[in-house]
């Protein structure tokens, strides 16, 4: 099996703080397809991503990586649905329409977090996804996300 290119690295002009390869100050997460409707991301938090207790990941960083992982999954799926490789031809963009996160347990700073997203519905204008964020083998957050298609000049 050949090595995949990260979804984020295929999206042109992506300057997003969480996922943009063109934002050198950002988190630069990387997501990969694991199935027809599922994707995975592994993110290694840095000490400065901490919450009040320095051994736990900040909740805003958790929200950011969930948001970016699912929206990039929706963008790549939009290209797939159009019959094109991600990033080829006219731009396809999605933005967050809904981000509903349930925090279940703290995520450790010293361990990678694993995000698993699954597309559960799609239409011409939106993609619905579920996502979990796990740390040390336990689910720390679950999210329901609605990605909304926006104009390519967004």
Phi/psi of residue 67, nearest 5 degrees: -55, -50
Instruction: Residue 4: count other Cβ atoms within 10 Å of its Cβ.
Output: 13
Q: Where in the chain are the domains?
A: 32-150
Helix (H/G/I), strand (E/B), else coil: 89: coil
- pLDDT tens-place string over residues 60-105: 999 999 999 999 999 999 999 999 999 999 999 999 999 999 999 9
The single-letter DSSP state of residue 2 is P
The single-letter DSSP state of residue 147 is E
Residue 152: per-residue pLDDT: 79
Residue 1: per-residue pLDDT: 39
Please name the CATH architecture into which domain 32-150 falls.
Answer: Roll (3.10)
Residue 140: per-residue pLDDT: 98
Burial of residue 53, with CB atoms counted within 10 A of its CB: 0-12 exposed, 13-18 middle, 19 or more buried: exposed
Q: Which segments in the chain show pLDDT lower than 70?
A: 1-2
The single-letter DSSP state of residue 108 is B
Region for residue 81 given its phi and psi (left: phi exceeds 0; alpha: psi -120 to 50; beta: otherwise) = alpha
Residue 127: per-residue pLDDT: 98
Residue 3: per-residue pLDDT: 82
Residue 50: per-residue pLDDT: 96
Helices assigned H by DSSP within the chain: 59-81
The answer to whether the CB of 21 falls within 8 A of the CB of 59 is no
């Amino acid at each position: 099996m050949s090595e995949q290119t990260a979804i984020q690295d295929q999206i042109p002009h992506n300057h997003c703080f969480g996922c943009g390869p063109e934002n050198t100050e950002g988190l630069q997460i990387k997501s990969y397809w694991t199935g027809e409707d599922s994707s995975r991301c592994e993110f290694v938090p840095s000490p400065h991503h901490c919450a009040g207790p320095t051994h736990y990941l900040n909740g805003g960083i958790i929200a950011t990586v969930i948001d970016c992982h699912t929206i990039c999954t929706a963008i790549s799926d939009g290209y797939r649905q159009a019959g094109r490789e991600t990033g080829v031809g006219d731009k396809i963009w999605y933005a967050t329409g809904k981000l509903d996160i349930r925090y279940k347990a703290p995520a450790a700073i010293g361990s990678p977090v694993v995000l698993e997203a699954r597309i559960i519905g799609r239409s011409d204008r939106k993609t619905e996804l579920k996502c979990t964020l796990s740390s040390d083998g336990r689910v720390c957050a679950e999210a329901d996300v609605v990605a909304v298609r926006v104009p390519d000049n967004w």
